[in-house]
Amino acid sequence: MRLVLATRNPGKVAELQARLGPLGVDLVSAADLGAPEVVEDADTLRGNADKKARALARHTGLPALADDTGLEVDALGGAPGVYSARFAGPDADDAANRRKLIADLDGIADRAARFRTVLVFVDRDGQALAFDGVCEGVITEGEVGDGGFGYDALFRPADGDGRTFAQMSTAEKNRISHRGRALDAFVAWLAGQNDRGA
């Protein structure tokens, strides 16, 4: 099956191709097919992922896969959530978003948080299926580690060994991450479809 992925990042395509290739999937990026960028303006992670996957499926005529991820901090009522990429403002970069999160949690003891990814698959008929992945953890008081992106230097996963995501290799992070768990659920579903000859 040829499947279009809502990304312009060749590294992400290669990473997912390694997981999906053994299931007979030939993954291609939205950029490879000249698909337009989709504005992520839904008020939920699922809404954004669904919007991107449906737009890609319509544009390409192929099944499509898209995701959206957010960081949910309990003490902030679940914020930044769907607004994680623009928490500090519409033109904010990762560093500005991290600074705002640190400032907003200053003096707050409850630092429980989770990363949530929603992965949406849309088939050729426009039917959508969603796969969720969650990674529980805590927000550190300051940045720890040089790797990763986004909020990785502030997030210490509960299933880890005490390091933040930014201190882990990509492979280590993917074994326990929210995105990895959502992908695991999709891979399990796809393998089941293959077993049934669908």
For residue 24 the two structure tokens come to: 């007979």
Active-site pick, 32, 68, 184, 195: 68
Judge contact between 148 and 166, C-beta under 8 A.
yes
Cα–Cα distance for residue pair 122/127, rounded to 1 Å: 5
Indicate if 94 belongs to the active site. no
Judge contact between 149 and 128, C-beta under 8 A.
no
Would you mind telling me the total number of residues written for the chain in this entry? 198
For residue 58 the two structure tokens come to: 């319509």
Angstrom distances, CA of residue 36 to CA of 5, 32, 44: 13, 11, 21
Q: Residue 181: helix, strand or coil by DSSP?
A: helix
Residue 12: exposure state from Cβ atoms within 10 A (0-12, 13-18, ≥19): middle
Sequence-distant (6+) residues with CB within 8 A of 47 are 82
**Residues with active-site annotation:** 68
